[in-house]
Amino acid sequence: MSGLIPYVHWTIPDTSPQKSGRFYISSESPEKIFSEHREAISKAYGITERMPFYSFLWNRLWMDSPLSHEKMNALRAAFVEFHPNRSEESEMHAFLGALDTCLRNGFELGVSLSPPGHADLGVTTIFPHCPKCKLVNEWTFSAPLDDSARRCELCGTEFRPSATYSRQLWERPKDNKSTEKVRRILP
Ligand SMILES: [Zn+2]
DSSP code of residue 57: H
List, for residues 98-131, the tens digit of each pLDDT value.
Answer: 999 999 999 999 999 999 999 988 899 999 999 9
Q: Residue 176: what pLDDT?
A: 63
Q: Are 134 and 63 in contact (CB under 8 A)?
A: yes
Q: Mean pLDDT in the chain?
A: 91
Q: How far is the CA of 131 from the centre of ligand 1 (A)?
A: 7
53: left (phi over 0), alpha (psi -120 to 50) or beta: alpha
Percent above pLDDT 70 for the chain: 96
Per-domain residue ranges of the chain: 2-112, 116-185
Q: How far is the CA of 152 from the centre of ligand 1 (A)?
A: 5
Q: How far is the CA of 159 from the centre of ligand 1 (A)?
A: 9
Q: Are 166 and 140 in contact (CB under 8 A)?
A: no
Q: Which residues contact 155 (CB under 8 A, 6 or more apart)?
A: 60, 63, 130, 132, 133, 135
3-class secondary structure, 22? strand
Q: Residue 187: what pLDDT?
A: 72
- Please tell me which residue, 162 or 177, carries the higher pLDDT value: 162
Mean pLDDT of 25-35: 86
Q: How far is the CA of 146 from the centre of ligand 1 (A)?
A: 18
Q: How far is the CA of 102 from the centre of ligand 1 (A)?
A: 26
Q: How far is the CA of 18 from the centre of ligand 1 (A)?
A: 28
Q: How far is the CA of 120 from the centre of ligand 1 (A)?
A: 26
Of 124, 128, 134, 122, which is closest to residue 171 (Cα–Cα)? 122
Q: pLDDT class for 134, splitting at 50, 70, 90? A: very high
Rounded CA gap, 150 and 164, in Å?
13
**pLDDT over 90 (residue 23):** yes
Those residues whose beta carbon sits under 5 angstroms from the ion ligand 1 are: 130, 132-133, 135, 152, 154-155, 157
Q: Residue 132: what pLDDT?
A: 97
Q: Residue 30: what pLDDT?
A: 83
**pLDDT over 90 (residue 184):** no
Which helix (H) or strand (E) element contains residue 89? helix 86-105
Mean pLDDT of 69-75: 98
**pLDDT over 70 (residue 178):** no
Rounded CA gap, 180 and 47, in Å?
47
Tell me the backbone φ, ψ of residue 28, rounded to 5 degrees. Answer: -150, 150
Which helix (H) or strand (E) element contains residue 105? helix 86-105
- Please tell me which residue, 186 or 142, carries the higher pLDDT value: 142
Tally Cβ neighbours within 10 Å of residue 18. 10
Tell me which amino acid residue 184 is.
R
Q: Residue 185: what pLDDT?
A: 79
Q: How far is the CA of 128 from the centre of ligand 1 (A)?
A: 11
**pTM: predicted TM-score of the whole model, two decimal places:** 0.87
Q: How far is the CA of 153 from the centre of ligand 1 (A)?
A: 7
